[in-house]
Structure 1
Amino acid sequence: MVYIKKLVLQHKLLFSLIFLYFLFIFFFMVLTWVMRSNFKKYPIEELVQHHFWSEIFYQNVTSSLFIISLGIITLGFLSIFVSLYNLYTFILAIDTAYKISESYAYSFFIIMGHGLIEIPAIATTLYISTISLRILINRIYQKPIFKIESIKSFTTMVFCVIFMFLVASILESYITPTLVKLTL
Structure 2
Amino acid sequence: MDPRAPPSWNDVDVFLCGVQDSFPISSNTQPTAAVSTSHDPLPEAARKVDAPKILGHHIVTEECLTSIVGDRAFYELPVLHISAGKNNTFATLTDCNGRILERSSCSAEGFQNARKKTTVAAQTLGISMGFKAQKIGITTVRVKMRGLGSGRLPTLSGAALAGLQVVSLTDDTSMHYGHGKRPRKMRRK
- Give the TM-score category using the shorter length: under 0.3
Greater percentage in strand = 2
TM-score normalised to the size of structure 1?
0.23
TM-score normalised to the size of structure 2?
0.23
Greater percentage in helix = 1
